[in-house]
Structures are given as C-alpha cells and as structure tokens.
C-alpha cells in the first residue's frame, strides 16, 4: 500500500530541507520526514533519491505519521549535523533522528588520488544513513515509504525483501542498496510490503507499525559495491553495529570539531551553523570541498539556469578556507593545500578552474531529460561545462588562500614548508598571470555569453602577483621580483584606467562597459583599494541604487549573460555589501542589512544561493558554500567594525575623563 504521505505532495521550499552528512556525502530531509535527495556513498555518486528533481519519478525515503497530516518540525541537535524531526498530535508524539555516522572529522591530508570511499571501505560498510523513529509520548501509527531510484532514476531496479523483517535489498545494474530494519521483532505489529505502480521502474517498500511510548524502529541504509555485498550488509553487517554508540560518537565528533571554533562575537549561532554546513561539504578522503551537494536546483523557477555544484571550484573552495580560517580551523586548509599540490596540470594554461572531488578533470555536462526538474525547472544537468572555461580570477584566489594559510602560521603548525612543490606551483601560476593577464575570460560568474575583460578577473591577477611578491619577499624565495613588481603595478594602473567609469562613478563589470557587477564589492576585501576610497564609496552607492531589489538585496549583474531567463538576488553579493558598509563605518546600515538577510534563511539557519525578489523564495543549489562563507565573513567584519567604532568613540571620552582628572 502506498502511504498517504505520497499523495498531495509536490515540491517543498528549497530552504526547508534539513541536511545531514558524513564528509563523503549528504542527504536532504524535508520537514515531512522525507529524504528527497541523496547521492551515496560520495557527493558525486549517481543519486538514488531524487524526488527533489522529479516529484513523480524520483526516489525518496519517508518516515512520518500515517496519513501525512501531522506537520513535522526540525532542529539540529546542539553543535552537530544530527537532525531531529518531531511530529506531535493530541494522541502522541514521534521523534525522528537522522544522522550519517562518522568515525572522525579530522581533515585527512591527501594520500593518493582516487582514494575514495569505496577504496577505504570495500563494501561501503562504514558509510550509511541511519534513521531512528521513536515514540516519545502516547502512540502513533507510522508509515515508512522507500523508493530507491538508482542512477538518477534512469535505470530500473529490483527489490528483494529479506526474511524475518530484517530489511530489503534494492539492486540495479550499477548500484546496490541495503536497508536494514532493526527493532521490528519487538513490536506487536509491523508489516513490510512492496508494491509497484504499472508505469513505474521502481518499487516502493512500505513499512507500517504503530509505535507506543518508548518503542522505536531503526533503519540503516548502506551501499554495497555488489549485490552480494549489499546482501551481506542487510543480513549481517548492519545488524551487528551498535548505532546508539555510533550516534553518541557522531555527536561527539561534531561537537568536538565545533569546539575548535575561535569566533567570539555576535551572531555566533549563525556562524556555528554555517561552519558546520561548510565542514559537511568537505570530502574527507582528498581534502576537496564541493560548492554545494546538489545539482540543478534552479536559479529561476521553471527556468534553465540549473547547474551541478557537486565539484570543487578552486574559487569556491579557497573562499571556504578563508572562512574556516577566520574561525580558527586550519586542518581543512592543510588538507586542501595537499589536494592542490596533487592536481594534474602542467602549467597555468591547463590548470582547470574546477575539478572532481578526487581531482578528476573530466566533468562533461549532460542533460537528464527523463527528470522534470524542481518545480518543472529543466534541464536537469550533471557535470559542468564551466570546467573548460578560462577564468583568470582563480590564480589570485589560489595564491591568496596559500598566503592566508601562511600568514596564520599553517605551515609551521604542521611542520611543513611553502618552499618546494607548493612554491613551484605558486611561481608557475604567477608566471602564467604575467603572460596572460591582458587576455579576456569568462569571469567569476562563468557567463556563457563570450569572453570579456572582466574587472574582477584583472583585480585577481593583481592579487596573484601581490601574494607571490609578498611570499618571495618575506621568505626570501627565488623569484624575478623586479619584473613581478612592475607587472603588478601595471595591472593596477590598467584597472584604474579602464575599469572605473568616471561618468557613472563606479568600477564596472568589464572594460568598455557601463554595466555594474557585484564582484567589484570584493576590491577592498582583497586589498586592491581602501574601502573609503571615493571611487569605492561611489561604486557601493551605485550598486545600492541600481543593482538591488526592494529589500536591498544584491543581484550579481543585470547585463546579458548569454542565457535565457533571469535569476534572483545573489546572497553572497548581499553579504559583500554588508562587508563594504561595515568597512566604510556605515555600521547601522550594515547591521540592518545583515539581520534582514538572516530572516531569509530556512528554519534551520541554512541558505541556498539566491533569493527570488518577488516571492522571497530560496533559489539555487542548497546549502551553498558561497553563502555560508560570506555569512561568516560578514559576521566577522561587523564585529571588527564595531570594535573599531567603539575604540574611535571612546577615545575622546576617555581623553576627556583623563583631562578632568588632571
């Protein structure tokens, strides 16, 4: 029997989902108890749950009160990525606890490329999704519906129920899923059935039970490398594990990791949630970081701007490390520098702007026409053609990331040195920038409408030279310093001459264009220009006048980008505006914009990429690293600005007191 939960259910708001993960992958869980997105065992594995991208055909795993009419409310257990969903009625209450067990959250310094989950655990036995449903009060009938749709619902599957209500196996050509059910033998009533709609490739397993106070069922879902491995998991291995101990250990790991956070200041709960979300997006075996764990959540409802973010952009990853560094987390930066050292490239020319989580170069973009997309937003894409683009900013971002890591004593802390392969890499990248900074590129936003001389790309070429020069000067390293310094100054002069439009009073998107671009808000943040330089002040004013919606939230740009349709405001950019206002001393405006923006997070404090200007809905992939990075940085910048302002204001008062005393 198909549970009522399946009826009348379409798409849930993007930012209503809870997200859990184990630093190999994540799953998204709706407030009605349904895992609607899940790629297991790794971020880039084909999705086995994709109801998020096709409400009709996509697989899901839902645990909820039978009837589906009791709303659930979600929260994270303090300081962790363990999620609880509570369903309460006058007759009783059930609590669903969802987690992915972790053995350790230590960032692993890179060992060998292709060292993925499968190699670490041949049968995938460590990595699983655990769902515990428990009645905490009264009694409640519960329905569990599991439809696994392997390979993004592109291939058929077969279900085999395992005797004695032990669980089930779901197998397709490539993917083998094991579901263990633990605790059914202690319940008075518990049934497990399987049904298949005539037009469906995938069967739905339904478990029904009435839970009374203190009773519970536990489901552990793991991936087997083969059908036999999956069978072993269901029949033996998953049943032998003590998931209560694993839950306690997982909670301990998250809390212990968060205890390393040195941030003290306002909005600390938001900062902590963002840090936990970012950590969840790291891929432990290689130190890589994904931009987001989803694909194709649309930038416009019903539109075509749907991209796969389950990869490592040098830009997004280095920004993530800034933010983690700001909070005192350095092990992740170390793991990432190891990943960087091991990337395959021969010179700056063939350094890609993004790689797969194991350093894969080949990320061919494909459209999955059999999926209708979130709220009909198609095409659904996997892979990302931006991997082949030329984006000159990435050199500056990589060098700035290493610079920051060095400045914070990262190398000394781990008994490592910048000298050697990493300095060779830096030199190669600086030399590449010296030779190519005058060329047009696709820019930070990866637009698909042709190459231009983007101002932000040029600024990041300046950053690449600047950070290379500082490292060479401070560590006495081998470099052609006079030439590097000359080119750095030449780039700066070029930008000030061609990138600033005196008639509008703003740094522009690209040379020769009057279009505004929010990426110019980064100029003072990377040290290219002081925040209170008149040119920067007027750029900020122009952006506030012409590049914002009615809430004051910032669009990336409004110029043509070669794609059809439009998009929402880009939350990362709104946080950059907060930073600029704070750095200019416009603290009230900065704080009010920051706090307004926080009200647009989901109930769990998570953000996607964009916000729709009219409906206020969350848009784009979720949770997005960019947004959480920027939230952390803005909280920090607000704090710094507050300190600066208070020092400034108290000085005369203190001086006056001193004078009176004298």
Rounded least distance, CB 456 to ligand LLGJG24Q, Å: 10
Distance CA 323, CA 551 (A): 26
Please report whether residue 577 would count as binding ligand LLGJG24Q according to CB under 6 A: no
Contacts of 416 (CB under 8 A, 6+ apart): 334, 410
Distance CA 20, CA 543 (A): 36
Distance CA 39, CA 310 (A): 10
Rounded least distance, CB 176 to ligand LLGJG24Q, Å: 31
Residue of 60, 243, 445, 553 that binds ligand LLGJG24Q (CB under 6 A): 445
Site string for ligand LLGJG24Q, 395-414 (x = CB under 6 A): --------------------
Please identify, using beta-carbon distances, which residue of 423 and 626 lies nearer to ligand LLGJG24Q.
626
Maximum separation of any 2 CA atoms in the chain, in Å: 93
Residue 268 forms beta bridges with which residues? none
CB 191 within 8 A of CB 3: no
Rounded least distance, CB 325 to ligand LLGJG24Q, Å: 19
For 392, the 3-state DSSP assignment is coil
Please identify, using beta-carbon distances, which residue of 28 and 353 lies nearer to ligand LLGJG24Q.
353
Distance CA 473, CA 462 (A): 16
Rounded least distance, CB 279 to ligand LLGJG24Q, Å: 17
Residue of 54, 446, 466, 610 that binds ligand LLGJG24Q (CB under 6 A): 446
Q: In 3D, which of 196, 182, 191 has the Cα closest to residue 147?
A: 196
Dihedral of CA 226/230/232/237: which sign? positive
Please identify, using beta-carbon distances, which residue of 171 and 624 lies nearer to ligand LLGJG24Q.
624
Please identify, using beta-carbon distances, which residue of 437 and 626 lies nearer to ligand LLGJG24Q.
626
Please report whether residue 384 would count as binding ligand LLGJG24Q according to CB under 6 A: yes
Residue of 142, 291, 434, 465 that binds ligand LLGJG24Q (CB under 6 A): 291
Please identify, using beta-carbon distances, which residue of 166 and 310 lies nearer to ligand LLGJG24Q.
310
Rounded least distance, CB 71 to ligand LLGJG24Q, Å: 32
Dihedral of CA 504/506/511/514: which sign? negative
What torsion, rounded to 10 degrees, do the Cα atoms 168, 171, 177, 180 define?
10
Distance CA 622, CA 40 (A): 17
Rounded least distance, CB 316 to ligand LLGJG24Q, Å: 5
Distance CA 297, CA 21 (A): 19
Residue of 444, 523, 547, 590 that binds ligand LLGJG24Q (CB under 6 A): 444
Please identify, using beta-carbon distances, which residue of 13 and 566 lies nearer to ligand LLGJG24Q.
566
CB 638 within 8 A of CB 582: yes
Site for ligand LLGJG24Q in 461-500 (CB under 6 A): none
Rounded least distance, CB 300 to ligand LLGJG24Q, Å: 11
Residue of 108, 230, 626, 637 that binds ligand LLGJG24Q (CB under 6 A): 626
Residue of 448, 483, 603, 649 that binds ligand LLGJG24Q (CB under 6 A): 448
Rounded least distance, CB 619 to ligand LLGJG24Q, Å: 12
* Selected range binding ligand LLGJG24Q among 228-236, 439-447, 491-499, 594-602, rule: CB under 6 A: 439-447
Site string for ligand LLGJG24Q, 293-332 (x = CB under 6 A): --------------x-x---x-xx----------------
Please identify, using beta-carbon distances, which residue of 313 and 462 lies nearer to ligand LLGJG24Q.
313
For 382, the 3-state DSSP assignment is strand
Rounded least distance, CB 28 to ligand LLGJG24Q, Å: 17
How many CA atoms, within 13 angstroms, populate the side-chain half-sphere of residue 318?
20
Contacts of 98 (CB under 8 A, 6+ apart): 18, 20, 27, 29, 35, 82, 83, 84, 85, 129, 130, 131, 132
Rounded least distance, CB 384 to ligand LLGJG24Q, Å: 5
Rounded least distance, CB 596 to ligand LLGJG24Q, Å: 23
Rounded least distance, CB 313 to ligand LLGJG24Q, Å: 4
Q: Is the peptide bond before 623 cis (omega within 30 degrees of 0)?
A: yes
Please report whether residue 449 would count as binding ligand LLGJG24Q according to CB under 6 A: no
Distance CA 47, CA 58 (A): 9
Q: What is the DSSP string of 27-59?
A: EEE-TTSEEEEEE-SSTTSPEEE-GGG-TTTS-
Which residues contribute to the site for ligand LLGJG24Q (CB under 6 A)? Answer: 291, 307, 309, 313, 315-316, 384, 386, 444-448, 626
């Amino acid at each position: 029997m198909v549970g009522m939960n399946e009826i009348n259910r379409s798409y849930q708001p993007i930012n209503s989902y809870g997200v859990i993960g184990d630093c190999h992958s994540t799953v998204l869980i709706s407030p009605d108890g349904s895992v609607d997105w899940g790629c297991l065992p790794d971020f880039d594995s084909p999705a086995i749950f994709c109801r998020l991208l096709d409400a009709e055909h996509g697989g899901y795993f839902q645990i909820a009160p039978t009837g589906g009419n009791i709303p659930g409310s979600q929260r994270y257990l303090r300081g962790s990525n363990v999620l609880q969903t509570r369903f309460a009625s006058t007759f009783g209450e059930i609590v669903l606890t969802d987690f992915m067990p972790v053995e350790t959250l230590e960032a692993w310094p890179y060992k060998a490329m292709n060292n993925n989950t499968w190699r670490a655990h041949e049968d995938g036995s460590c990595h699983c999704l655990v769902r515990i449903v428990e009645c905490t009060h009264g009694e409640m009938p519960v329905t569990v519906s599991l439809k696994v749709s392997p390979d993004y619902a592109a291939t058929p599957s077969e279900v085999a129920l395992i005797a004695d209500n032990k669980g089930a196996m779901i197998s397709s050509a490539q993917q083998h899923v094991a579901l263990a059910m633990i605790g059914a033998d202690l319940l008075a009533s518990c049934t497990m059935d399987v049904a298949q709609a005539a037009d469906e490739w995938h069967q739905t397993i339904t478990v029904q039970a009435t839970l009374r106070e203190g009773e519970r069922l536990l489901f552990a879902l793991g991936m087997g490398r083969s059908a036999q491995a999956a069978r072993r998991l269901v029949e033996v291995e998953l049943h032998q594990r003590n998931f209560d101990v694993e839950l306690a250990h997982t909670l301990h790991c998250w809390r212990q990791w968060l205890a390393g956070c040195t941030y003290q200041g306002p909005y600390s709960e938001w900062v902590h949630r963002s840090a936990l979300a970012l950590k969840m997006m790291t891929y432990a075996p290689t130190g890589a970081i994904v931009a987001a764990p989803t694909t194709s959540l649309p930038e416009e409802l019903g539109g075509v701007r749907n991209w796969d973010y389950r990869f490592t952009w040098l830009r997004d990853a280095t920004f993530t490390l800034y933010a983690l560094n700001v909070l005192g987390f350095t092990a992740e930066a170390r793991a990432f520098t190891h990943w960087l050292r091991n990337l395959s490239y021969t010179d700056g020319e063939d350094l890609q702007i993004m790689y797969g989580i194991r350093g894969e170069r080949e990320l061919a973009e494909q459209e999955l026409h059999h999926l209708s997309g979130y709220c009909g937003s198609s095409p659904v894409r996997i892979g990302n053609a931006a991997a082949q683009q030329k984006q000159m900013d990435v050199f500056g971002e990589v060098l700035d990331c290493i610079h920051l890591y060095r400045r914070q004593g990262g190398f000394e802390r781990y008994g490592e040195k910048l000298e050697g392969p990493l300095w060779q890499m830096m030199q190669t990248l600086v030399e590449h920038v010296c030779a190519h900074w005058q060329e047009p590129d696709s820019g930070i936003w990866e637009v698909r409408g042709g190459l231009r001389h983007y101002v932000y790309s040029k600024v990041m070429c300046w950053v690449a030279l600047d950070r290379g020069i500082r490292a060479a000067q401070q560590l006495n390293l081998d470099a052609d310093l006079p030439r590097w310094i000359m080119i750095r100054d030449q780039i700066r002069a070029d930008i000030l001459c061609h990138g600033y439009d005196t008639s509008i009073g703003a740094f522009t998107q690209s040379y020769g264009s009057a279009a505004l671009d929010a990426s110019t808000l980064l100029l003072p943040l990377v040290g290219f220009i002081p925040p209170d330089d008149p040119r920067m002040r007027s750029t900020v004013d122009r952006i506030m006048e012409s590049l914002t919606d009615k809430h004051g939230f910032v669009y990336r740009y409004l110029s043509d980008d070669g794609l059809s349709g439009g998009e929402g405001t880009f939350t990362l950019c709104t946080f950059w505006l907060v930073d600029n206002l704070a750095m200019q001393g416009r603290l009230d405006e900065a704080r009010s914009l920051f706090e307004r923006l926080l009200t647009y997070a989901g109930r769990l404090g998570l953000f996607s990429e964009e916000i729709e200007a009219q409906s206020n809905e969350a848009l784009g992939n979720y949770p997005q690293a960019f947004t959480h990075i920027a939230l952390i940085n803005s909280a920090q910048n607000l704090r710094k600005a507050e300190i600066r302002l208070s020092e400034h204001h108290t000085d005369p008062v203190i001086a006056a007191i001193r004078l009176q005393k004298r």
